[in-house]
Amino acid sequence: MMPLMRRLAALLTLLALLAAAPVAIAQTDQGGGGGGAFGPLPQPAPEQTPVPTVAPTTEEQSDTDRTLLFAIGGGLLALFLVIGYVITRDAREALPEAERRAAASGSGLREDGPHRHAKQTKAKARAKTKAQRAARRHNR
């Protein structure tokens, strides 16, 4: 049985080598055509010498940076103005017509607002505060 295995192994090795032979021939370019994978490398193209560029000076660089900062600042300022305009326009449109006329005429007094207090209540609170101050001074 052992000799049979050796023969089978030799036969399989021979078949593997025969199957790989066409691939090897194609790679070595014996079939004609262009350059092969194992052929000599083509000559490199002559390198062109790069043109030296002058690096910007510190002053030129800071000038560019300053210009960029001014452009960014101007853009932000314009953006804030547009946002403010849109907000105020929307607030005016949302205000009812009656309140808009009252605000335009300027006749709205503070006492007419939702937090109005009677004048007597305010006077009473002021008198109480005044009495407390007097008592503190007297107890010193």
3-state secondary structure of 136: helix
Distances (CA, A) of 80 to 74, 83, 120, 133: 10, 5, 46, 49
Residue 11 has pLDDT above 80, yes or no: yes
> Which are the contacts of 39, defined by CB distance < 8 A and separation ≥ 6?
29
Q: Are 130 and 137 in contact (CB under 8 A)?
A: no
What one-letter code names the amino acid at 112? D
Q: Is this prediction's pTM over 0.85?
A: no
Q: Are 81 and 89 in contact (CB under 8 A)?
A: no
* Per-residue pLDDT tens digits for 49-83: 888 887 777 777 777 788 889 999 999 999 999 99
Q: Are 102 and 108 in contact (CB under 8 A)?
A: yes
* Per-residue pLDDT tens digits for 82-122: 999 999 988 878 888 877 777 776 655 555 555 566 777 88
Residue 27 has pLDDT above 70, yes or no: no
Query: Taking residues 112-137, what's their average pLDDT?
Result: 81
